[in-house]
Amino acid sequence: MNQELWIGAALFVVASSITPGPNNTMLMASGVRFGFRRTFAHLMGVQLGFGFMLLSVGMGLHTVLAQFEGFYDVVRVAGAAYMVWIAWKLASAKAHQDDLQHAEQPMGFWAAVAFQWVNPKAWVMAVSFMSTFPPPQAGLAQIAPLVLLFVALGWPCSASWAGFGSAMRAYLQDPRRLRMFNVCMAFALLASLYPMLKA
């Protein structure tokens, strides 16, 4: 790949990783509810789970899966159902920080890894990226550096959402503010489904 393609790939990573979506919305909510340190496993699960998905897609997984009629429709429906459940959990969460911290646990590493496979935005990002930037018939030697680029640039983008949530913890000690925040995050998560489900 030439320098222009690397720059284009880097811009794609930053633009797609910093914008709102299911992962970032959930990371910010987790930052508010549990703090950055307890959200760290969730954050790493997102990055490494998506990195593995990206590598699999780059090595041809999406071509194989496309042979199964309706596969991406199943992913969209399963992902939507899971995100609706997460939105409900957010909207109905207890509105007191101390009670919430003791009652629930943040999403763990492996749960975040698994979520990438039913996250419609993750599929769109992975297929779009690997269809655009690697050379035709690219092998592992060409795919792996692109995956590393995505993880290296994507991590601080996602971390900023978790960090912003953690920074708002003091402001959201008021149960009414926390309740409003949880409901807003639930609606934001549901809103992120619209462009994915209409595709």
Q: Which residues of 51-86 are buried (b: 16+ CB within 10 A; e: fewer)?
A: bebbbbbbbebbeeeeeeeeebeebbeebbeebeeb
pTM: 0.83
The pLDDT, as a whole number, for residue 61 is: 77
The pLDDT, as a whole number, for residue 57 is: 92
* pLDDT per residue of the chain (199 residues) written in tens, 0 to 9: 688 889 999 999 999 999 888 999 999 999 998 999 999 999 999 999 999 999 999 988 767 766 777 776 777 788 788 888 888 888 887 655 554 445 578 999 999 999 999 888 898 889 889 888 988 788 889 999 999 999 999 999 999 999 999 999 988 888 888 888 988 888 888 887 776 666 5
Q: How would DSSP label each residue in 179-192?
A: HHHHHHHHHHHHHT
CA distance 123 to 57: 9
The pLDDT, as a whole number, for residue 199 is: 55
Domain boundaries, the chain: 29-197
The residues, any chain, with a CB within 8 Å of residue 50's CB and separated by 6 or more, are: 23, 116, 122, 125, 126, 150, 151, 154
Residue type, 19: T
Q: Do residues 158 and 24 touch, judged by C-beta distance below 8 A?
A: yes
The pLDDT, as a whole number, for residue 100 is: 46
Q: Do residues 39 and 115 touch, judged by C-beta distance below 8 A?
A: no
The pLDDT, as a whole number, for residue 173 is: 83
CA distance 160 to 162: 6
